[in-house]
Amino acid sequence: MSKIALITGVTGQDGAYLAEFLLKKGYEVHGIKRRTSLFNTDRIDHLYEDPHVDNRKFILHYGDLTDSTSLVRIIQKVQPDEIYNLAAQSHVAVSFEEPEYTANADGIGALRILEAIRILGLEKKTRFYQASTSELYGLVQEIPQKETTPFYPRSPYACAKLYAYWITVNYREAYGMYACNGVLFNHESPIRGETFVTRKITRAIARIALGLQDCLYLGNMSALRDWGHARDYIEMQWLMLQQDKAEDFVIATGVQYSVRQFVEFAAAELGITLRFEGEGDQEVGIVAAVTGDRAKVKVGDVIVKVDPRYYRPTEVETLLGDPTKAREKLGWTPKITLPELVKEMVESDYTSAKRDALVKMAGFQAYDYHE
């Protein structure tokens, strides 16, 4: 009998990689997706199986983390061996605009699943993974951050995730459930959401290089992050549920870069050397040199500007993880470096932008998008 996994947030970046990973391992994979007015399954369309076919291995259910009834019904029907709770309103800046919804989905949502497991008497059968985050460290108390570093959340998102973190620990201790937190640092990929800073940068640089966009507007370029590749981090989520005893783990690369450096690396992939001038709101990125024939920009063009609208009311300035526990106990080390990640993301966005440029040249206006 193959194991059964249920993934919330299956239509997101991590959900898509995890579903593919578990299917390759022979799991029967169930995913929860939300009803949306347009299709939201782009990232998992390649895994889709026709519902008319028998013995499907990948099955989607409508549900929502803010709706206990749907969660109880799905968990009762699926009887999962493992639940990966990846669903969340995952954008930190947006959480300042939608704090109550974020608390409901990201905080209470985890509780709803844990309670569903308990109500259905599945405490001994179903293992639970909570997608916790380095944002918990917020205003940093220690560098690098590890499992024992105190938390200091700095956004409604991080406060909601703090609740989810502790309720997971509490259900483990109170009811003996196999429930654990993966405290994951930022991880990115070509299918990262377009409004997170890395993808916003790689997408904009590709479009600027092809003349589809003039400028990239960013917020705090001095923020420091420990960026890994989502594909590397998925294996960890699975490994954490395969241990004898449930424990919480930090997952990170242990290497840190600034947003500014990320922009420089991305531009360099297309032959653009950037020079940064000015300070604060006045800082700009100017084209200092162009090599190769992939970028249609000129020396002296200003292609990066600061827009204070992207500043956050409270910022997390520096995150750097110490993944020693994961390395020692789970034998895990990340395989993909930041330069490799940037290259993969830029190449993917450059290919999409070339398609848009062709559409534009053929007389159809390409989708113009600056967020």
User: Rule CB under 6 A: which residues touch ligand NDP?
Assistant: 8-9, 11-15, 32, 34, 36, 40, 64-66, 86-90, 105, 131, 133, 184, 186-187, 193
Residue nearest to ligand NDP (CB): 12
Using the contact rule CB under 6 A, the part of the chain among 54-62, 131-139, 285-293, 354-362 near ligand GDR is 131-139
Measured in degrees and rounded to the nearest 5, phi and psi for residue 345 equal: -70, -45
**Is position 186 an interface residue for ligand GDR (rule: CB under 6 A)?**
yes
Q: Which does 34 bind (CB under 5 to 8 A by kind): ligand NDP, ligand GDR, none?
A: ligand NDP
Q: What Cα–Cα distance (Å) separates residue 118 from each residue in 12, 245, 363? A: 26, 19, 58
In angstroms, give the least distance from the CB of 346 to ligand GDR: 16
Does 157 qualify as catalytic in the annotation?
Answer: yes
Q: Which does 105 bind (CB under 5 to 8 A by kind): ligand GDR, ligand NDP, none?
A: ligand NDP
Pick the closer one to ligand GDR by CB: 126 or 133. 133
Pick the closer one to ligand GDR by CB: 157 or 178. 157
Using the contact rule CB under 6 A, the part of the chain among 3-11, 162-170, 192-200, 351-359 near ligand GDR is 192-200
In angstroms, give the least distance from the CB of 317 to ligand GDR: 7
Q: Which of 126, 133, 202, 253 is catalytic?
A: 133
**Is position 237 an interface residue for ligand GDR (rule: CB under 6 A)?**
no
Does 8 qualify as catalytic in the annotation?
Answer: no
**Is position 195 an interface residue for ligand GDR (rule: CB under 6 A)?**
yes
Nearest alpha carbon to residue 265 among 209, 339, 200 = 339
Pick the closer one to ligand GDR by CB: 80 or 321. 321
Pick the closer one to ligand GDR by CB: 177 or 316. 316
Contact with ligand GDR (CB under 6 A): which of 196, 238, 276, 369? 196
Pick the closer one to ligand GDR by CB: 134 or 237. 134
**Is position 283 an interface residue for ligand GDR (rule: CB under 6 A)?**
no
Separation between Cα atoms, residue 131 and residue 114, nearest integer Å: 13
**Is position 250 an interface residue for ligand GDR (rule: CB under 6 A)?**
no
Does 133 qualify as catalytic in the annotation?
Answer: yes
Close Cβ partners of 265 (under 8 Å, ≥ 6 residues apart): 257, 338, 339, 342
Could you write out the three-class secondary structure of the chain? CCCEEEEECCCCHHHHHHHHHHHHCCCEEEEEECCCCCCCCHHHHHHCCCCCCCCCCEEEEECCCCCHHHHHHHHHHHCCCEEEECCCCCCHHHHHHCHHHHHHHHHHHHHHHHHHHHHCCCCCCCEEEEEEEHHHCCCCCCCCECCCCCCCCCCHHHHHHHHHHHHHHHHHHHHCCCEEEEEECCEECCCCCCCCHHHHHHHHHHHHHCCCCCCEEECCCCCEECCEEHHHHHHHHHHHCCCCCCCCEEECCCCCEEHHHHHHHHHHHCCEEEEEECCHHHCEEEEEEECCCCCCCCCCCEEEEECHHHCCCCCCCECCECCHHHHHHHCCCCCCCHHHHHHHHHHHHHHHHHHHHHHHHCCCCCCCCCC
Q: Which of 28, 135, 188, 264 is catalytic?
A: 135
Q: Which of 27, 84, 129, 157 is catalytic?
A: 157
The amino acid present at 360, given as its one-letter code, is K
**Is position 220 an interface residue for ligand GDR (rule: CB under 6 A)?**
yes
In angstroms, give the least distance from the CB of 56 to ligand GDR: 30
Terminal C-alpha separation, the chain: 46
Pick the closer one to ligand GDR by CB: 22 or 197. 197
Separation between Cα atoms, residue 34 and residue 30, nearest integer Å: 13
**Is position 146 an interface residue for ligand GDR (rule: CB under 6 A)?**
no
**Is position 114 an interface residue for ligand GDR (rule: CB under 6 A)?**
no
Using the contact rule CB under 6 A, the part of the chain among 165-173, 240-248, 311-319, 340-348 near ligand GDR is 311-319
Q: Can you give the binding site for ligand GDR, defined by CB under 6 A?
A: 90, 92-93, 133-135, 185-186, 195-198, 200, 218-220, 223, 225, 259, 310, 312, 315-316
Question: Would you name the residues annotated as active-site residues?
Answer: 133, 135, 157
